[in-house]
Each structure stands twice: as C-alpha cells, then as structure tokens.
Structure 1
Amino acid sequence: MADTTIQPPHQWYVESSAKLPPSSETRILPNCPMRKLMRTPGVSQNGDYAAHGAGDVTNNSNSFELISGPLINLKNMHYESAPVWHGSVLIVTKPTQQKPLLHLHQLGPVGSQSQSQSQSNQTVEGLKLYEDPDKAFWRFSLAVPVESYEARWEYDIPGLYNSSESVKAPWEFVVPAEEQSMRIMFHSCNGFSVGTDMDAWLGPNLWNDVLRVHGERPFHVMVGGGDQIYNDGIRVDGPLKPWTAIGNPHKRRTHDFDNKMRADCDEYYYANYVRWYNTEPFRAANGRIPQVNIWDDHDIIDGFGSYTDHFMKCAVFRGIGGVAFKYYCLFQHHVAPPKSTFTTDAPQTMHAVNGTSGVDPRQVENVYVLENQEEDDSWITGKRPGPYVEERSRSLYMRFGKRIGFVGLDARTERTRHQVNYPDTYKLIFDRLESEISASNGDIKHLVVLLGVPIAYPRLAWLENILTSPLIAPIRLLNKRFGVAGGLFNEFDGQVDLLDDLDDHYTARQHKRERRELVQRLQELARAHSLNLSGENDHRFIVNVVSSAITNKPPPKAVANLLARRNKIHRLDRTCDETLMPFFDKQPGGIEKSATWNKVTMPSRNFAILTEAVAPTANGDGVVGIETSKLASLPKDGHAPLHKGEVEAGSTHSAADGISSNSGMYGGLDVAIRVEIDPQNREGATEGYGFSSKWRKIPYLIFSEIRVIITIFPAKANLIFFTFIVPPLTATEGPPVSSRHSFRSRKSHAESRPTSREQAVAAEQPGRPSTAL
C-alpha cells in the first residue's frame, strides 16, 4: 500500500494524496490532484439545465475532469413485488455542458470467476444537483434487481480523467441475495481532532483493514454513525480563526455572519470535504461499499448543539450550521442542498420558509441548484426546523436485506443542551417504524437503531457535578483575566471544554428523561411486534454496541480504566437494568492498551461488523465448541454470560474475525469488533473480538435476540439491536433458555442487586431519575 500523507485542511486549496495501487479484485480510480480553488466567471448552459450567467470555462467535450468521487450510497431495498436494490453514485467534476453517463452491469455471483450472461445492463444519465463556477455535483440513481444469489455489480463512468489522464478502471459493489440480510460494517469518528499528533497517528489506516475484510467477504453497506469528516479546523486555520481570537465573549456572540464570511466558510467546507474524501484508503472504500450516514457535531464543528443556548444562537454558529448542512446533503446523501444558507445581511435567510432558509439572490448568482426534487423515501423529515440550523431534521429508515430493518436518528439538527430531538420527531419516527414493520409481514426480525452517541454508557454524573460546581468559577475568572488553565476551557462559550462531550450523552442528567422514554418506546415497539414469552425472553431485551473511533485518536489509558471502574448494574426503571459485558479478554496484538483487569473498555481505534448467522451447526443449537455445562457453571453476578453466544466472548470467539460467521447461532447476528494493534502500522492490522446473538427455535421459525453492551472508547456513536419475535400459529414454546439483557427485565433476575424502597419509588415517578442511575 502506498504511503498517504495527511495534510491539514486549508481555506483555499487542498492537497492530493498518494495513489492506491490497483487490487486484484477491483481496480481503483487514481487520485485526483487538486488545483487551487479560485472563483472563475459564470457558466453557460441551456434550457432548464442552465446556470445563471455566462463564461468560457465550461467543458464542451464528452470528457469530465474529476475533482472527487465516485461515492456510492445505499438508498433502500424494496420487497413489495420483485425485490429491488436502490442506490446512488456521486461524482464532483469541473463545470461542463455535457451530462456524464454511468454504465452498470452484473458480473455474476460472489465467488464466481465467470462473467454473468445477465441482461441486467443499464446506462444511467447523470443528474446535476448543484453547480457553481468551480464545480458540479452529479448523481446517478441506481435500481438493480435482487437475484437469488449474492451478486457482484460493476459500474463505469466513461470520459472521466484527472490531470489529463484517462480513468482506466471500473468499480464494483455487492448486492445481497433475495433471502439474505446485509453484511454491515459500522464506523464513526472518521477524522482527527484539532491538535492531534500526526506523527503518532499516521492517518486513516484502519480503512486498509476494512478493504482487506471486504475483499475476503464483501460488505453490503457501511454505516457512518456521525463525524464522517472533521471540520473543526475552520476555527484554527480557516475563516473563523479571527472570530475565535476575539477575546470579548459578547463581541463574539454579536458578530455578524455576512455573505463574505459565508462564502469563505463555504470554500473551507468544500475544500475540506474534497481533501478528506480524496484521502486513501478511505477513498477506495467510498467507491465500492455503499454508504448510509447520519451527521454529528464534527461534521459541523466540535460541540455544535451542546454549548449554552445564548451562544449557540449567535450568528456565526447558525451560519456555519447552514453551510455544513449544504455539503452534508451533497457529499453524504447525494441530494441537492438548500438554495441559500443563513447570513445576517440577508434577513430572509435567517428564518426557515417552508422548512428551509429563504433565497438570497446573491447566493444563487452564477449557481445552479436542482429544484423540486423528490425526497428519498428513506428519509423521515422533521416537521419544523432545528433551533440553530434553518433546516428540518432528516432521520433515515431503510431495509438492510431480508430480515433487518434500520433506522438512523438525526440527533444533531434539533439538539440543544436540554434535548436531543423534538417530541413530534420521535412520533414521526415511531409511526414510520410501526408502518414498515407491519408491512413486512413478519420478515423483519432485527431492528438496528443508529444513534450519534450511546444510549447506554458508564455514568459520569460525579464529573458533571464537579465541572458545573461553583468551585470552577474562580478558575474560569483567572482564565478570562490571565489565561490560567487555558486548555481547560473551550474557545466558544467559556465553559469547561469537556462539558460539551458530557452534555452530548443521553446519560447526562439533562437528557435522562428523554433517554428513558426513548428506550421504553423501543421496548414497547418490540412488545407490540413480538411474542411476549415468559421468563428470559422479554421485549425489554436490547443490545447496545459502541464502536468508535475508526480514525480519531483515542483518549489515554487512564480514562478508559476510569470508565471501566464505573461499570455498575444501572437501573433504567423498576422493570429494567443495564450493564457492560466483559469482552476484551486480551490486549490487541499483545500491546498494552488498558489495565489487565479492564475487560469492558478499549482505548484503541476500531470498527464493527455485523453478519447474520445463516447456517446452524451440526447439532443445531449453539456456538461451535461451547458446551452448555460451561454456561451452567458461571456465576449469576449480573455481568456473566447468559447464553452460549456470549460464553468465551472476545478474541477466541468464532465471530471474532468478522468473516467466517460460523457461530451456529442460527437466525441471530454475529458481532465483531476489529481493534487496531499499532497506530504506526500503515496496513491497519487489527485484533478481532466477537460474540453471537442468542437464539430460540420454534417449529418453522427461528427466534433470535442479542444482548450486550460493548464499549470501545471514545464513545461517540452506537448501534442498538433488538429482535422481533413473531410466532407461527402452530408454534409451541420450547424449553426456557437462560438470558440477561443489556436493557433487561428485572422481574426475571433474582440475582440483581437489592433495590431500596426509595429507589423503587423514584423509578415510578415520571421525570425523576432513579438514584441507582
């Protein structure tokens, strides 16, 4: 693998990265060197395809100078009649009068070297989403039939070139079979915080391991849990640097965000996206593993939404929120952006009109923006704009193959220090889930819920209390007057820098009620669509998998160990407990990352893999090599494994490699976390840790559940899983199988710690969190 040098983002230009050599499986587009991004005269076009203005920079030939891409997205799968996979491909080019074409054809089954004789050949015309004098964004909408086999598809875009050289290679992606659920790769925090030592952290190396695993057994989708890009540098070496340097907080809050400042920020966000999305090996994955993304604070700026309300409402933060949303729409969702974004010198942009900013004529001069586009059917669009972004939230629902439903919550657009989402947004989301699950006629067995921050996490209320106590006030005053303890306080609202991260978490005290209600609604959804079995098989059973970060540096070992010491059995309400599961049985590659006693948190870069277990073992019940007697001998201490799939969870588990999926937990999910061994290793070598979901068999139907919280610190995004149990009319209940939940029913666990009368009363009172939390 060629070296890739990660350059810091700059306002006016982006650096190219090294080329990735062609692989034996799929040839990769060479990297596109970027020239200085200068504003040029307008673009001349015809008809309703036209941009305003005129100029002589437009390419009239059938060739297209590539700036970034291709990026492939998953849009949805539909099973109403003949199953269809929907996706899109995005490219960014220099402006052109011609429409690029994409050629798509099927190569045949995965693992087969023979070319398919299928007639599924398509030519798709590019749709222009946005164009200004420097760049044009093109989307190709794909709809391919789902076959009875896992199929390889190849696409090519003729005429692409960079630096006057032809692009010689097509790209491949894989679509699951009709009866198959998707193989999921999950990641978050895909970038570097300001101040990262780039000599210690050599870039996005783990994407090499992602591509290596993908080559052995393809992923059908890669889910980005937020922070797909870090735009924090805008305040360090970008156009917000002078504003950040203003010493008087009042002057910072009242500073205008005029059209010139917006244009400068627009250039920065665009250039940073191009720089990062052209960085190998992340770039290689973007072209061949379909993406599904939600955004989080770093996609805008660190802590966006979690600073004090009076500061979040300042013009500069509202302005960069709008600009960040523009490029989030284009690069991460392949949809046209708003025609204008917030500025203080165009009052019509300062308030949402029909759910988006009003139009500023200056912002659409020499610019084309696609209008009247149909919204993706995967989107769940909020009813009203967010408090700090003049746009409505966009959550996602889609099918991940035959038996998996997916919902991703936009937990940033509506976020404040005191709420994550509006109540009416939760109603929209749960109404959609009810509709989709009912319409699946029992096919959906697993629901994957994506949140930007963990719903279950070790409690740090004691730290919140310290950082918000009167004891901090004298230090803050000394910092303001003399610069004492400058690293302790953030540059924006003057609060302790760590507070925005603590306030982000659902477990923060101001989010406890919202958190509890969200979990209880998920449990009620499971109850409504499941067989309410007695004993261990309870609708309250939910799994929380935290995997972060794939690129950003982890915090020190001491922080991970501190979190591990906070691993208690916490109480959601009087019927449900939660806890962490021992998982990291060894240090990755023998390199010490945390204390030897710490089995629950891992301060190392990582990503997660989920694969449906599709073949039972020879004896038909359980994980390969695990004896039932081992489970019976384990202590009932509230933390021990409770079914075969959790016994010996960790590096020796059969699911740990993320490839073989031979756990034998038929109908459940195999979960693997691949943890980086050495950040100096450019190949991204990892150690795998795994566990498998619980299962329960009824004639003609397989029931599966998973339980476990796995935390890999830093925790910035997570997936939640639970399983719908739909019994056949003739089913009879089998022998009970022991189980415990991450979010688990208290009534079935006599071994849980005693609960005081005061705690029980507190749990029953709405709005009052239990002291056990």
Structure 2
Amino acid sequence: MSEEGNHFWHGSVLLVTKPGSKRPSLELKSLGAWDGRTRVSSSQWQVVDGLMLYSDPDKTFWRFTLRVPLVEAEAKWQYTIPNMKFLTDVNKSPSREFVVPASTDSMRIMFHSCNGFSVGTDEAFWSGPVLWNDVVRTHQQRPFHVMIGGGDQIYNDSIRVSGPLQEWTAITSPGKRKDYPFGEDLRNRCDKWYYENYRKWYSAEPFATANGQIPQINIWDDHDIIDGFGSYTDHFMRCPVFRGIGGVAFKYYCLFQHHTAPPVSTFTTDAPTTMEAGVGGTAGADPRQLKDTYVYNRTADDPSWIVGKRPGPYVEERSRSLYMRLGRRIAFCGIDARTERTRKQVNYPDTYDMIFNRLHNEFKAARGEIKHLILLLGVPIAYPRLAWLENILTSPIIAPIRLLNRRFGFAGGFFNSFDGGVDLLDDLDDHYTARHHKAERRELVVRLQRLAAEFSIRVTILGGDVHLSAIGRFYSTPADNMDALEDPRYMANIISSAITNKPPPKAVANLLARRNKIHHLRDGNTDETLLNMFDKQPGGQMKGADWNHCTMPSRNYACITEILEEQTNNGTHHPQPTNGVNGSVTVNTTGKPGKSRPRSDIDGRTPLHVGEEGAGTEHPAANGLSNQGPLPGGLNVAIRVEIDNHDPEGKTEGYGMSSKFLLAVTNKSLFPAVKKCVWQFIRNLG
C-alpha cells in the first residue's frame, strides 16, 4: 500500500516473450465488487506499458506496474495482454482476474513453502503439485488477496543430477571439486538451465493458475539455489561453482519471484571484473555476458525492499528483505535469511538493525493503525530441539564412517555429494535452534517482543522448510502471571510445509512430538512449546501416532484471515468483548464451561487463551474461509492438510486456531535492554 492515505494497492505482472517482440501493453479494468452486488466507484480502465527488465538472444522479461485504487468494497480486477498467445498455459485466454480488499479491510493471506520435489522423489506417487487445486478451490469460495512464499518456491537441485553440474558432482575428490573453475561456458549453461527450470515450473498446472490469480510475495531459501546452499563448510561454500550458481540463481530469483531487474553480470572465474564483489554486489560488468543483452539499470527499484549494506559471503549480492502493508491493519516483513547465511550466521547484525529501524519508523508513522505484524522466516524459530542429533553427527564417531565412505562408498546416502559431510547436518544447521544460531535467535526474539510492547502490535511468525505442519508459540513464563492477550511475548509461529514436496516419515514427526518440551529462552522470562493442534487424523488416514497432536507429517498450506470487529457508523473499529471479566481469559482444561485453572498452572501444550481453545478441526477458523471467531480483531489461522496423496484433486482437512491483537502494553520495563555484546559474539563467529 502507498503513503497516499493507504488507499492504493500496488503490484506487478511479469511477461516473458521471445526477443525482438514489440513492446507489449496491458489493459486493466475494474469488474466491480467481488460479491457482484455491492456498487463500487473506481476508475474503470487503465493501459499500462511494459517495462523491459532484461533481454538476451533467447528471451525478454517485461514488467507491468499496477496501481489500483482501494474502495469501499472488496473488488475484482481483470488484466488482459492483447494479441498475446500463451503457448504452455492451460488457460489460453489473454485475461486473468485478481481481487483486492476493501479500503477498510486487511488482506486475506495464503502461506506456502517447499513448492517442488527433492531429487529422487517419485513425483507420480505423490500425484504432483495437486494441493494447488485446493488452493484454487478455496480462492474461488473466498478470494486470497496475497500468497506468501516462504522459500523453496522452486527446486533447482536436479542441476547436479541431470543438468550442467552433473560432471562436477561426479568428481569423487572434495578437493578437486572445490577447485573446479566456473568459467563463462559453464555459467552460460547454468544460466540456460535455471531459466528453463523456472519456465517449466511456472507454466505447470495447477500452480500456474494460482500464480496468475493470486499476487505473490516471496523470500528465497536454499532449494531456490541448490540444496543446503549457505550451510556447508565455509571453505567449500567459497568454491567457484557455488559462488557461480549463487549469482545465476539470484538473477532468476529477482526476475521470476520479484519482477525486478537482475545484476548486470554474475561471477565467473575467467572474467576479472566479476571476481570480486564491491559494496553494491558483483564489482563489474563482463562484456561477454552483456553481448546482445539488455539489463534495466535499476536493480533495486522496489520501495518495499530493505537492501543489505554489503554483499553476502557466497551470493555476492546484497540481501533483499521486505516490508509492506497487507491492507489496513496488517504489516508484513520478510527476512532474506539466505543471501547472508553461513554455517554460523543467518544474517549480518547491521541487516537486523536496518530491518528493525524500518519497522520502527513504519509503525510510528502508522499512528496505531497497524495491529499485526506478519514476520516471514525461511525456517521455524519456535520448534523442538535436536541438539542430541547434532552432537552425534559432529562427534568423532562419524570420522571412521566418513573414511569408509571415501574409500569404499560405504553409507553413501548418509553423506552429501558436495563437501562429503553428513547429509542431514546442513538441514540441522539451517535451523534457528541449531547451536551456532542460538545467540542470534535469542536476540531476534527479544527485539520482536520489545517492538510488540512499544507499539502494541501482535507478532505472528511464518516458517516453512521442515515438510510438516505445527504451531509453535513464545509466551511469558508462568511466574509473570500474564494474560496471553496482553502478553507482548506471545508470538505464534505458523509452521506450514510442504505444499508439494513429500513429508518426512511418521517416525520423524513422532520424534519431534516427543521433543515438544517446554523450552526456556535465555532471557529468563520466555517459554516456548508447540500447541496441541491436530485433534484427529486428516480424513481418518493415519499420518502419525494417535498420541501425536502437535506435528502433522502431510502436505499442507495455511490460510490467515482477519476476524471481523464491530464497526461504527463513522468507520472506526471497536473490539467485541472477550471471554472472562475485564478482558481476562478463562482457559478451560476440559472444554467444559467453568472448568478453568490459573495462568501459573498452564503447561504450554494446552490452550494459553480462548483463541487456542478447541484448536483443530472443530475450531471456527478450520475451514480457511471464516472471518468470524472468538477474538475479534485477531487473526484466524487454518492449516489445510492433505488427506490422500493419491487424490489428484488434492482435497484437505482443516485445523484452526485464532490469535488476538495485542492489547495496550503499559509495563515496557518487562524487557531487558538489547545487549551489544551478543551482537559482538555473532560478529566474532562470522
């Protein structure tokens, strides 16, 4: 949304054509209110010229920048690219439709992650990306205004199996593989491969249909580059091939997922101008890469971006985090947790400073209108620990097995194809709960809580990556005796993945559920656990143990809808009364009225407030459509879980809970000052 009284929606459409095509134009018109009954007054017709972002001898990328007025009702818009023939789309029509919220409403959100298959997965067994059929059905019943991609929107891992890195991957010596050059010829072949993989995936149904109707916001993760990128050992991550594919993947991430221009050139080992990164990214242009090529010269022209101050250590470009308004009362921030990532660091300390400065300034300017912050992280942050597994995989007992693997190929599936390390370890190192990231994680959580307290904003965190669904929560320790609705430490972590990739085995989900113990953040005042969300198995099909109510190993996606408040004639919103006396919450132990227990007795796995009561299939939020619920002004959250992976329709079962906006916080001294020594510790690690 814009600064102009928050009455405009901003978005873009991307078109890829053959080179040499005439500059295309887009026709945009209002179709009136989405319900077909409410009268809507708005401009009826716009013509938008395409802006060329990039062109080479094989393809041209065009961006159409849209600016749509928000009016008194939810409105449907149609965009048409005339005289254009779509070769691969099932929908051959030149027109598509999308829906924007009313000027007084917040956006309805769909969240997904892990939209692809890992190498070696039997895609036919999993019926392909069929959950997008369910997304489209839900969208037709009540439109999503935005879909948020939490990372791995595309899987590029097969570049090492059937693509130009096949020969490099086959080198048995990690040392030789580390020194392998990434010259212009290999870069060019990788460039063509990444483009073709994006083109095929973004044309694949039913993902293509959803992508053409629901505007997207994305943050990337490792599979958007290659599996584990950023989390292997530092000396190996700095090898020419990893630096090279990091640059190529960033190029197409910018174009396809952000509709913005890529860097002028990317790294190769045979172009001195690209060998070193400057402050702005790749230091110079390579004339060979620019031959018969046009690149729009404003690579970071999106005002929603929070651009890092210096390039990442392996992707030699500056990070792109995001801030934007999702309608009237919801703000969104997505942290780019991949560009700056190393095994011991997720983001630079000064990147966090930039993000929190932006949030502080935006919230201050909003003068209390923003009630919710949706924070997107690539991986969960409130999640069970597997420190014991980390300790085993890094212990000396692994060394003899690694030696046998190098000499005889013993336990080949246990070690990765890149640096010879334990394959599972890069996934564990990705997690905020990994031992390398503990200090950084703690500081991020505390800064979010302080921000919530200062501006009375409820923070809700989105995270994917782990291929199962769950709801984690941070909250004040029982000793603080705080009502959860007034608790600035209360933050729900909605964990939703994968929408396409296969889930982990039942045993993994059950193991994580057994590790669902109350964890104490090292601020002395914050606890965390997973909520018992899954009251029954989806469609009666056993996905995990019958006692496991907190982790669900089945493909899924999430819906987030603002709960309606009472509205007065002058347009102001007033929250409806909550359960209990004077806004306090009665937490039921048995689901029966009057059976409650004091806040100090809550174990963290059962409901902390009325919005968590009855979490599961019977909750009002479970259908993914409802804007009614027990906490007016809060958020309804539904996780839609696949019932049968052999069903081509991708039907789901819904599980719901609600989160309340944060009531005014008066005791801001609850939070300790942010300690610079922690950031210095992280700098020393990096």
Give me the TM-score of the superposition, normalised by structure 2: 0.88
Alpha-carbon contact 2:537-2:543 (below 8 Å) kept? yes
> Does residue 725 in structure 1 map to residue 664 in structure 2?
yes
**1:297 to 1:122, Cα distance in 2 relative to 1, 3 A:** same
Alpha-carbon contact 1:232-1:300 (below 8 Å) kept? yes
Tell me how far 1:540 sits from its aligned partner: 1.6
SS in 2 for 1:550: coil
| Distance in 2 (alpha carbons) for counterparts of 1:335 and 1:638 | 44
SS in 2 for 1:86: strand
| Distance in 2 (alpha carbons) for counterparts of 1:163 and 1:281 | 16
Tell me how far 1:162 sits from its aligned partner: 3.9
2:521 aligns to what?
A: 572
Alpha-carbon contact 1:102-1:125 (below 8 Å) kept? yes
| Distance in 2 (alpha carbons) for counterparts of 1:531 and 1:183 | 18
Superposition map of 1:241-252 within 5 A: 241-252=166-177
1:714 aligns to what?
A: none
Superposition map of 1:68-217 within 5 A: 77-81=1-5, 83-112=7-36, 118-162=42-86, 167-217=92-142
Alpha-carbon contact 2:563-2:634 (below 8 Å) kept? yes
2:378 aligns to what?
A: 452
| Distance in 1 (alpha carbons) for counterparts of 2:390 and 2:37 | 58
Tell me how far 1:628 sits from its aligned partner: 4.8
Task: Provide, for residues 659-714 of structure 1, a one-character-per-residue CA deviation record: whole Å limited to 9, x for no partner.
Answer: 122214111000000000011111110000001123xxxxxxxxx2xxxxxxxxxx
SS in 2 for 1:364: coil
> Does residue 421 in structure 1 map to residue 374 in structure 2?
no
SS in 2 for 1:672: strand
> Does residue 549 in structure 1 map to residue 498 in structure 2?
yes
> Does residue 468 in structure 1 map to residue 378 in structure 2?
no
Alpha-carbon contact 2:440-2:679 (below 8 Å) kept? no
| Distance in 2 (alpha carbons) for counterparts of 1:618 and 1:266 | 53
Identity of aligned residues (%): 62
Which of residues 317, 322, 332 is equivalent to 2:242? 317
**1:473 to 1:209, Cα distance in 2 relative to 1, 3 A:** same
Superposition map of 1:414-563 within 5 A: 414-530=340-456, 535-536=482-483, 537-563=486-512
Letter aligned with residue 212 of structure 1: R
2:643 aligns to what?
A: 677
Which of residues 636, 649, 659 is equivalent to 1:693? 659
2:559 aligns to what?
A: 609
5+ residue gaps in structure 2?
A: 459-479, 567-573, 580-584
Letter aligned with residue 269 of structure 1: Y
**1:82 to 1:452, Cα distance in 2 relative to 1, 3 A:** closer
Task: Provide, for residues 707-750 of structure 1, a one-character-per-residue CA deviation record: whole Å limited to 9, x for no partner.
Answer: xxxxxxxxxxxxxxxx47379xxxxx9xxxxxxxxxxx999xxx
| Distance in 2 (alpha carbons) for counterparts of 1:724 and 1:254 | 57
**1:636 to 1:306, Cα distance in 2 relative to 1, 3 A:** same
Tell me how far 1:644 sits from its aligned partner: 1.6
SS in 2 for 1:480: helix
> Does residue 599 in structure 1 map to residue 549 in structure 2?
yes
| Distance in 2 (alpha carbons) for counterparts of 1:411 and 1:766 | 17
Alpha-carbon contact 2:610-2:630 (below 8 Å) kept? no
5+ residue gaps in structure 1?
A: 1-76, 695-703, 705-722, 728-732, 734-744, 748-763
> Does residue 640 in structure 1 map to residue 597 in structure 2?
no
1:32 aligns to what?
A: none
Alpha-carbon contact 1:531-1:726 (below 8 Å) kept? no
Alpha-carbon contact 1:631-1:641 (below 8 Å) kept? no
| Distance in 2 (alpha carbons) for counterparts of 1:399 and 1:618 | 21
Letter aligned with residue 581 of structure 1: L
**1:214 to 1:144, Cα distance in 2 relative to 1, 3 A:** same
SS in 2 for 1:203: coil
Alpha-carbon contact 2:85-2:94 (below 8 Å) kept? no
Alpha-carbon contact 1:671-1:691 (below 8 Å) kept? yes
Task: Provide, for residues 13-57 of structure 1, a one-character-per-residue CA deviation record: whole Å limited to 9, x for no partner.
Answer: xxxxxxxxxxxxxxxxxxxxxxxxxxxxxxxxxxxxxxxxxxxxx
**1:579 to 1:234, Cα distance in 2 relative to 1, 3 A:** same
Which of residues 409, 412, 415 is equivalent to 2:335? 409
Tell me how far 1:631 sits from its aligned partner: 4.6
Alpha-carbon contact 1:329-1:336 (below 8 Å) kept? yes
Which of residues 186, 192, 207 is equivalent to 1:282? 207
**1:352 to 1:724, Cα distance in 2 relative to 1, 3 A:** farther
| Distance in 2 (alpha carbons) for counterparts of 1:359 and 1:543 | 45
Tell me how far 1:647 sits from its aligned partner: 1.1
Tell me how far 1:114 sits from its aligned partner: 8.3
SS in 2 for 1:458: coil
Letter aligned with residue 55 of structure 2: E
| Distance in 2 (alpha carbons) for counterparts of 1:656 and 1:558 | 26
| Distance in 2 (alpha carbons) for counterparts of 1:364 and 1:444 | 45
Task: Provide, for residues 35-89 of structure 1, a one-character-per-residue CA deviation record: whole Å limited to 9, x for no partner.
Answer: xxxxxxxxxxxxxxxxxxxxxxxxxxxxxxxxxxxxxxxxxx1253361111000
| Distance in 1 (alpha carbons) for counterparts of 2:36 and 2:457 | 41
| Distance in 2 (alpha carbons) for counterparts of 1:217 and 1:437 | 29
CA-based RMSD of the aligned residues comes to 2.6
Letter aligned with residue 542 of structure 1: M
Tell me how far 1:639 sits from its aligned partner: 2.0
Give me the TM-score of the superposition, normalised by structure 1: 0.78
**1:341 to 1:583, Cα distance in 2 relative to 1, 3 A:** same
Tell me how far 1:646 sits from its aligned partner: 1.1
Tell me how far 1:530 sits from its aligned partner: 2.7
**1:580 to 1:248, Cα distance in 2 relative to 1, 3 A:** same
| Distance in 2 (alpha carbons) for counterparts of 1:504 and 1:106 | 44
Task: Provide, for residues 127-151 of structure 1, a one-character-per-residue CA deviation record: whole Å limited to 9, x for no partner.
Answer: 1111111111010000111111111
**1:411 to 1:207, Cα distance in 2 relative to 1, 3 A:** same
Letter aligned with residue 585 of structure 1: D
Task: Provide, for residues 738-766 of structure 1, a one-character-per-residue CA deviation record: whole Å limited to 9, x for no partner.
Answer: xxxxxxx999xxxxxxxxxxxxxxxx999
**1:482 to 1:371, Cα distance in 2 relative to 1, 3 A:** same
Mean CA deviation greater in 166-175 or 87-96: 166-175
Which of residues 578, 583, 597 is equivalent to 1:621? 578
SS in 1 for 2:192: helix
Tell me how far 1:620 sits from its aligned partner: 4.4
| Distance in 2 (alpha carbons) for counterparts of 1:531 and 1:304 | 34
Which of residues 249, 252, 256 is equivalent to 1:327? 252
Alpha-carbon contact 2:264-2:285 (below 8 Å) kept? yes
SS in 1 for 2:655: strand
Letter aligned with residue 351 of structure 2: T
Alpha-carbon contact 2:130-2:650 (below 8 Å) kept? yes
**1:618 to 1:250, Cα distance in 2 relative to 1, 3 A:** closer
The number of aligned residues is 633
Alpha-carbon contact 2:81-2:94 (below 8 Å) kept? no
Tell me how far 1:303 sits from its aligned partner: 0.1
| Distance in 1 (alpha carbons) for counterparts of 2:196 and 2:168 | 20
Letter aligned with residue 360 of structure 1: D
Alpha-carbon contact 1:295-1:452 (below 8 Å) kept? yes
Alpha-carbon contact 2:279-2:309 (below 8 Å) kept? no
1:36 aligns to what?
A: none
